[in-house]
Amino acid sequence: RKEVEQDPGPFNVPEGATVAFNCTYSNSASQSFFWYRQDCRKEPKLLMSVYSSGNEDGRFTAQLNRASQYISLLIRDSKLSDSATYLCVVASNNNDMRFGAGTRLTVKP
C-alpha cells in the first residue's frame, strides 16, 4: 500500500461548483497533515494544515478521520483560479513529509 494515496482525477467542474478530494495514508502513527496546491511547473505551496477537529479557511474545508486514515479537502464556490493540482502531504514516522501523487482540478467557466 502506498504511503499516501489520492484520487488522481482529473476533476473538471464548472465555476461555482463544490468539489471534494480524499486522501488515504498508511501509517497510523502519522501526526501532521497538510494540503498543498501546485500549479503547472511551479513549486508546491501550502494551502492549509489539517487539524483533528477539522478546519476551514474561507471556501476551503479540511477534515481528518484518524480511524479510517484519510483526510479530505472540500472547495466550495470554485473559481477559475482554483485550477491546480492538489497534493495531500502526511508526516511519516519521523515527521518527514510524504506527498501523494496529487489530484488535478480544472474549473471551467
87 sits near other proteins (criterion: CB under 8 A): yes
Of 75 and 89, the one with the shorter C-beta distance to other proteins is 89
Q: Which SS3 state, helix, strand or coil, does residue 24 take? A: strand
CB of 18 to other proteins, least distance (A): 25
**Of 39-78, which residues contact other proteins (CB under 8 A)?**
41-46, 49
Neighbours of 95 (CB within 10 A): 9
Binding-site ranges for other proteins (CB under 8 A): 31-32, 34, 38, 41-46, 49, 87, 89, 91-92, 94-102
